[in-house]
Structure 1
Amino acid sequence: MEYTAYISKAEDFFNIFTEKYNFMGESTGIQHKYRVAEEYGSGCMDRYSLKNGLEICMINLCLKKAIQFQFKTSLPVFEVVYCTQGRVLRNEQGMGELLLNEGNMVIYVRGKYEGFIEIPANMNIKCISIAAYNPFSGIFRYDPDGCDEGYGRADIKSLDDLMRPHPICPWLKAPFSEMQGCTFSGIAKLMYLECKAMEIISFALEKKIISREKTEIAVMLRKTDIEKINLARQIIHENITDPLSVDELSERVKLNSCKLKSGFKHLYGNTIFGYLKDIRLEKARELLDAGHDMNINEIVNEVGYSNTGHFARAFREKYGVNPKDYRLRT
């Protein structure tokens, strides 16, 4: 990697994509859109620059060519990143390689540091980043007199165990999903996104942002194994109404079931059937958002559930609201 970006302010990061990779930038006040250049693929990054150094970036893209660059920065940042689809590789000095897979999230608390970022090709990437720049003079400045920039530093120091990718708690997916599905416009949208971002950050400070599952032994995967697991994921998407069993999936992709299960969990942060459940519910949410004439029972059948009650419980567990109430809010 010959290209190194020097980041001294938030927009420097996004300038990498416009100057080096020909993304097309559009700005309207505090809202910015960076469209992927046709030569690199499709999609965009939506960035919202809010008050007190708070920034939200929603990434939704699919690249024809991988993007990889080194960076150096001395800009203090507190950042929460959640990957809802695909994966992103980040390597930082002192932390090593951080692979953020689908269904995982990570917290970055940094001052002066350097590393590199890689966004892979031929994969749909969806991530949400909530970043607070210069946080101790911005969003964490909550001392009674408004003059102590050290307020909250002890809370930040306690987050060391969260600074590696972890599976997100199911109930915390709701505010992220609500951010992605927000239909408000103008100042109402900005206020809504800011409230959701602060809700997520507050959970981070309370160390409730990850599921407390046992750390699993690292899975050794060859390139061919990863290709077969990616194929299994594609087959799952194509058969959500009539899914294959693990053994059938294993036979289809020519990978033993033990490695398929452990490798799938390693790459995507979820079990095979947990992943199937998530994409069924996500499709149901999209159908509810679409506002067409399908009733709840039709949506239940469309996403592969055979029991409306089971579907409603699963939807409420994932999004924190019943399907009928969710439809009324959209």
Structure 2
Amino acid sequence: MSNRICLEELIAVSDHSSSALVAGGGGFIGGHLAARLLREGYRVRVVDCKPVDEWFQVHPDAENVVADLSLLDAAHAAADGMDEVYNLAADMGGIGFIEGNKARCMLSVLINTHLLMASRDAGVDRFFFSSSACVYAAAHQTAPDLEALREEMAYPAMPEDGYGWEKLFDERMCRHFSEDFGLRTRVARFHNIYGPHGTWDGGREKAPAAICRKIAAAVINGDDKIEIWGDGEQTRSFTYIDDCVEGIRRIMRSDCDQPLNLGSEELVTINQLVDLVQELAGCSLTRHHDLSAAQGVRGRNSDNTLIRKQLGWAPSISLRDGISETYKWIYKEVGYASHRFLP
């Protein structure tokens, strides 16, 4: 089977008898993925530990279950009868959260381990694990004008403490379950996924959502200042949610059993991201740089050579297009939360 498959072929191979578990489906990426699978004709089971009224998206056509997948019995019940399992469940957030909650991030190994065991026992056909660019060593990310990260650069291993180690360990678990038990596992290393229907406040949000929220709040409340963590010259590439979901589906159906970067190659500084959001919002704010705040690595970008080779595809949605949609959604959410807009 060729690794180069178009969207029409994805839908064709997903007949109406296919079933999928979306673990962590009450979250940002999981909610979008569940919607995609439903459109493709899957029977979808969404499981999340949060109460349903706290899910970002609730799909009436899915089987929606509240359960703690760090418990083996819950994982077995969730995987039972499923053809495919997508594990997006994890206790995580932006840089402020992961630097301050290393043990909580590490405990997510229980979710993936138990889902792998349950998938093996249930005869699941394919298993997807959502890894992260945090598996890469900080030594490769010390300058803003960095060399883009290639998959082989994850070793020798020295990932982000806590969250990065959890992701790298779970990548190895997937590999060994494939080798030892024949479970077909697929792994994507996400690079800063953003978009509507995700976390935008509360401390778990990532840079695009945080910047959109701060600028939206300034516009709505008539403020003229914005706080930026660090000097703003740290660089990142940001991947829009539609590209992320497309990549997940293509990776899952491919023959590629090694981890693949799933990220944009459009590198920008945080200051450039602020410039873009301000332009879209039609404002210009005075910047205060908090040099004591968590900043993460100095620079990070995705090298998409391998995903192009394996799939004949790579993320292509521009930052401008993705941020435009994200800002419009967050602007409305900030307005509702501040009671300036009616829901």
**Same fold (TM > 0.5):** no
Structure with higher Rg: it is 1
TM-score (normalised: structure 1): 0.29
More contact order relative to length (CA 8 Å, sep ≥ 6): 2
Q: Greater strand share, 1 or 2?
A: 1
